[in-house]
Amino acid sequence: MQNSSFLSLAALSQILGLSPVVPMTPDEMAKCLCATFYPNASNSPTVDTFIQNLQAVLLTADVSVISYEEALARGHDGCVGEGIVLFAAGSGEIGNLAIDHVSSLSKNTVVGIVDGTQGGIRDNHFQRRVDALVSALVWHMVHVLIYVDDESWTVCNMNGAIDTFGLPNLEQGVRKSLIPKLAAPVLPPNKGDFDIERDAFSPSSPEKQTVVQDLLNGALVWRKTGLLATQTKLEKLEYRSSRYKRIASAYLNWRTGMSYGFLARQLPSRFAPALRLDEADPMLQRLDWEEKDFIDIDGAVLVSPKLGEQRYLLRIPEVSVLCTRSGCEKTNIDPANDLTTLTLRRGRVIVGMPTGLPPGSDCQPSFDTITIVSHAVGNVIIASLLDRLAPGCKFAAALRHKGLALAHWHGFMEDGVLPPGYYLHGDSNPPVSCSTPQAALYSILGKFAAFEASIFAGIEFLGDAHLEPSHGTNLTGLSLSDLALMVNRA
């Protein structure tokens, strides 16, 4: 993934409030990793051989591989230092698993390596496959699980990803799949990561009725597709001890379960038509926008996207999305309890809770929060440009007056199946978790590339499908019902 000529990674990071340096390619990700191997017996020659080969491949890929003793020295109280990836062979013993020796559940990643395979993870039915995968992860108490047999190895994580490679393709699989999963791991959003606004909106208010109704109608259509999984309840999973059950709950920030996908409505946005740079204030024209394509003025970010040879200038407005909460039943939405607002304001995400929410309710932001707001920002930038280039176009008019629809499911679309005006992108990106800065940046860069393709082809832009390898697809369009029907036809 290269820097975009449309808008730089630095500009996008400023808009989204991300670190200015995010590793975007597998090579960059590998150089950021530090790994060690837990010294427990696997009782499997197959696993032992795999680990020896894996260590060699990681070193070749420029991953820093250190001894377990050094990893402990970087930590405290018998735990490896924060940020270190801990590989562990076999099933381990209760009380002495690798997870018992990490400094942080969120800053250390534990990778289990076991012989054989897990029944159910190859099931064609998505719900059964997800249930089997989550069950295996909590039983082994790992963030990533690798199954090894005599011919192949399979890497799985909580993102729902299941990638299988032949043993001769170890290096290819490590670079293509394993390294991105370790460098950009699944991290459940924590309420502390955002600003929380209580009683931020009423789902039954008149101004919310149109978007709430599209969510409810869309949920019914999505239910008929069978593409959205129901919740995998943590209470029903099998744990090796009550302590490990508490650890799993703490890692998920005390969520009651896992569900995959989201349904959302980007709320109507106030945006102005973009200006050509030569129409802007003379002071702004004198800035070197080729050197730096964004500027912060009194907390407002101005960006100068480049379309072909022409530069434009626009202000990034506040964007808001009404979204299903983490863990709810996406196809049976209760508006009073299952919806949150996500607002990006000056680089900070504000999570709005509905009025009247009972104390102790499991109303938490979606795992996909940063990717959702990234899509919303991308949509408003495109709408601002379209308002200048093609006044009256459907996309900009919809976003200004009614808002747009966003949906995510754990399935894929093929190129060529989308109707005219919709574009597929993302299939060549590394397979990272949807909760990561990388996923957010891939989504908005791909959206811009789709928009540019539509402009240069002379086809009206209506939406895009962002494919996330080994994970699923994010789809942007005019209504959730339309998106469900589009996916079903594909």
Specify whether 156 is located in the same domain as 238: no
If we measure between CA atoms, which residue out of 105, 88, 107, 85 comes closest to residue 97? 88
Total domain count, the chain: 2
Backbone angles phi, psi at 63, to 5 degrees: -80, 140
Q: According to the model, what pLDDT value does residue 1 have? A: 40
In a domain, 472, yes or no: yes
Specify whether 275 is located in the same domain as 144: no
DSSP string, 93-158: -TT-SGGGGBS-TTTSEEEEEEES--TTTT-SSHHHHHHHHHHHHHHHT-SEEEEE-SSEEEEEET
Both tokens of 363, joined, read 């109303």
Specify whether 331 is located in the same domain as 427: yes
Specify whether 36 is located in the same domain as 76: yes
For residue 428, the domain's CATH number is: 3.40.225
In a domain, 2, yes or no: no
Which residue, of 163, 183, 203, is where some domain finishes?
183
Which residue, of 129, 154, 183, is where some domain finishes?
183
Q: Is the dihedral of CA 406, 410, 412, 417 positive or negative?
A: negative
Q: Cα 334–344–470 angle (5° rounding)?
A: 70
Specify whether 70 is located in the same domain as 88: yes
Q: According to the model, what pLDDT value does residue 257 have? A: 65
List, run by run, the mean pLDDT of 10-residue segments along the chain (490 residues): 76 93 96 95 90 97 98 96 96 92 94 85 75 89 94 90 92 96 86 85 92 92 81 82 89 71 94 95 94 90 95 96 89 90 94 86 85 97 96 95 93 84 94 91 96 94 94 92 82
Q: How far, in Å, CA of 298 to CA of 315, rounded?
A: 12
Specify whether 395 is located in the same domain as 452: yes
In a domain, 468, yes or no: yes
Specify whether 325 is located in the same domain as 252: yes
DSSP string, 399-440: HHHT-EEEEEES----TT-SPTTEEEE-TTS----TTSHHHH
In a domain, 209, yes or no: yes
Model pTM?
A: 0.93
In a domain, 3, yes or no: no
* Burial class for 171, CB neighbours closer than 10 Å (0-12, 13-18, 19+): middle
Quote the domain boundaries for residue 151: 26-183
Specify whether 272 is located in the same domain as 348: yes
Query: Across the chain, which distance is largest between two alpha carbons, in Å?
Result: 72
Q: According to the model, what pLDDT value does residue 2 have? A: 44
Which residue, of 139, 159, 183, is where some domain finishes?
183
Q: Which helix (H) or strand (E) holds 65?
A: strand 64-65
For residue 133, the domain's CATH number is: 3.40.50
In a domain, 1, yes or no: no
Specify whether 378 is located in the same domain as 454: yes
Specify whether 68 is located in the same domain as 199: no
Specify whether 54 is located in the same domain as 16: no
Specify whether 249 is located in the same domain as 178: no
